[in-house]
């Protein structure tokens, strides 16, 4: 169904990137998948489906979103697909989110 297609015109590039990370994490299924992949280090979708209260096709969709954001990579291995976290990309995401958070915290000193 295509990935998140936010209206990105008129926004600063930095901001759009942050919002994209937000989208990637915006569903419990995807957060769970990332956590599972990190824990197991090498994971096939079947096992992932077993850990989620969702249909196989739905899980596949969430995997697609994560793949499209580059957070995971999928490799065919026989009849299975081996999904792995892209640690590099996860670090990049966290770096971006932290940069955002730091900006907020550094400046926020509201006296309302």
Partner DNA sequence: ACTATATATCGTATATTGACGATAAACGAT
Partner DNA sequence: ATCGTTTATCGTCAATATACGATATATAGT
Q: Tell me how far, at minimum, the Cβ of 30 lies from its own copies, in Å.
A: 7
Q: Is residue 13 a contact point for DNA (CB under 7 A)?
A: no
Per CB under 8 A, contacts with its own copies among 52-71 are: 52-53
For residues 55 and 87, which CB has a smaller minimum distance to DNA in the complex?
A: 55
Provide DSSP, the chain. Answer: --------TTS-HHHHHHHHHHHHTSSHHHHHHHHHHHHHSSEEHHHHHHTSSS-HHHHHHHHHHHHHTTSEEEEEETTEEEEEE-HHHHHHHHHHHHHHHHHHHHH-----
Q: Tell me how far, at minimum, the Cβ of 80 lies from DNA, in Å.
A: 4
Q: Tell me how far, at minimum, the Cβ of 67 lies from DNA, in Å.
A: 8
Q: Is residue 50 a contact point for its own copies (CB under 8 A)?
A: no
């Amino acid at each position: 169904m295509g990935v998140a297609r936010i209206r990105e015109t008129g926004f600063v590039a930095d901001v759009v990137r942050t919002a994209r990370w937000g989208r990637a994490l915006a569903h419990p299924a995807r957060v769970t998948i990332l956590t599972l992949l990190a824990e197991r280090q090498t994971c096939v979708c079947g096992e992932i489906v077993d850990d989620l209260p969702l249909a196989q096709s739905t899980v596949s969709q969430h995997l697609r979103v994560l793949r499209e954001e580059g957070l995971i990579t999928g490799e065919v291995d026989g009849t299975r697909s081996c999904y792995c976290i892209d640690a590099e990309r996860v670090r990049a995401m966290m770096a971006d989110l932290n940069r955002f958070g730091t900006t907020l915290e550094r400046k926020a000193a509201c006296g309302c």
